[in-house]
Amino acid sequence: MKKTHLFTTKEWLEKLRIKIFASADSLDEAREDAYTALPDSPKHHVDAALDRYHNTLIETVKQHANE
């Protein structure tokens, strides 16, 4: 199966985990870091992967806060 840019982007985000968010002052800064690190990936794919990852991260933190 051929990897798409989105899949490659998702793999990259999974590899870095929270690092891109921990080192960035905002989601916009994290986006800029991702655009720089993934110059061959379309920005809308990077945005989609970051949004999905960010929302998953927020839900995970909320779940742990409620335990």
pLDDT in tens, 18-54: 566 666 778 888 888 888 888 888 999 888 888 888 7
Q: What are the residues whose beta carbons fall under 8 Å from the beta carbon of 18, sequence distance 6 or more?
A: 57
At 45, list the tokens: 């794919």
Total number of domains constituting the chain = 1
What is the arithmetic mean of pLDDT over 4-20? 62
Closest alpha carbon to 37 in 66, 57, 16, 65: 16
Domain that holds residue 33: 5-65
Between CA 34 and CA 15 the distance in angstroms is: 13
Q: CA dihedral in degrees (23, 21, 24, 46; nearest 10)?
A: 120
pLDDT at 16: 65
